[in-house]
Amino acid sequence: MVQILVDNNIIEAENGANLLQTCLENGIYIPNLCYLNDSQEPFAACRLCFVEIDGHPVAACTQKVSEGLQVQTDTSAVRSLQKTAFRLLLSVHEIKCKECSANKRCDLQRIAKFLKVGLKPKGLEIRLKDPGLDSGHPYLIVDQNRCVLCGKCVQVCLQKHGHSYLTFAKRGFDTVISGYIEPDDIPLTFSGCTLCIDICPVMAISLKEGIKS
């Protein structure tokens, strides 16, 4: 066990433990979207989990805990990085909370409240994908304008099946989570596994109609 200092709180943790997870488990909230608990190789894609260590910004999910580590989670530099990353995410997100199945259980709403930013990113151009609903996958529908590209679905699928049946496709603003057609003689059928649906922080993935879980 080692001791670290987070915003003047002394926290005890296993040497080498993940900093983000340690903070969260000790009741110190750091915004995050893409970290999977106990992940050995954090994906570090959302850039929301910034903290300050020795005056430098560090993505907390990529930092290991060691004796005497001093971390600040609430400096103005950190908040401004987080707000920018978050506003950029919102600029490609369709805000329809009232009609959204994730309403009130959505990580974006939680983070917006925490960072005290509105859900409409002022001053940024909104870029939505057309069409937003992607039914290319044999049994899943992905709402591309809801998806925040955290990649958790891809990671859990990979962990569970050794292969991921969902993938990042394309690049830049065009990046989407996609499931591609399988060879005709090895069709991909629904096995009852809904890990990707359950892990999604914004409920962007759902089963196609007629497919029962």
Partner 1 sequence: MDVILTSEDKVIIEKLGSRLTQCEKVKTNLIPILQMIQEELKYLPPEVIKMVAKYLEIPGSEVYGVATFYNQFKFNPPGKNPIKVCLGTACHVRAGDIILENFERKLGISEGQTTEDREFSIERVACVGCCALAPVAIMGDTVHGHMAPSKVEGLILRVQVEHEKAERERQKIESDRQ
Q: Which residues bind partner 1 (CB under 8 A)?
A: 163-171, 178-186, 188
Q: Which long-range contacts (CB under 8 A, 24 or more apart) does 43-49 make?
A: 43/150, 43/151, 43/155, 45/149, 45/150, 45/151, 46/85, 46/89, 46/148, 46/150, 47/81, 47/85, 48/82, 48/85, 48/86, 48/111, 49/20
* Binding at 188: pick from partner 1, ligand FES, none (beta carbon under 5-8 Å per type): partner 1
* Binding at 32: pick from ligand FES, partner 1, none (beta carbon under 5-8 Å per type): ligand FES
Distance in Å, CB of 67 to ligand FES, minimum: 23
Give the interface with ligand FES as residue ranges (CB under 6 A): 32-35, 44-49, 59, 61
Distance in Å, CB of 131 to partner 1, minimum: 12
Q: Which of 187, 212, 210 is nearest to 137 (CA)?
A: 187
Nearer to partner 1, 185 or 209 (CB): 185
Distance in Å, CB of 142 to partner 1, minimum: 12
Distance in Å, CB of 30 to ligand FES, minimum: 8
Separation between Cα atoms, residue 146 and residue 159, nearest integer Å: 24
* Binding at 38: pick from partner 1, ligand FES, none (beta carbon under 5-8 Å per type): none
Nearer to partner 1, 38 or 185 (CB): 185
Distance in Å, CB of 62 to ligand FES, minimum: 7
C-alpha distance from residue 138 to each of 40, 62, 143, 180 (Å): 30, 34, 15, 8
Asked if residue 65 lies in contact with residue 3, where contact means CB atoms within 8 angstroms, the answer is no
Nearer to ligand FES, 59 or 137 (CB): 59
* Binding at 71: pick from ligand FES, partner 1, none (beta carbon under 5-8 Å per type): none
Helix (H) or strand (E) holding 35: none
**Local structure of residue 124 (DSSP, 8 states):** S
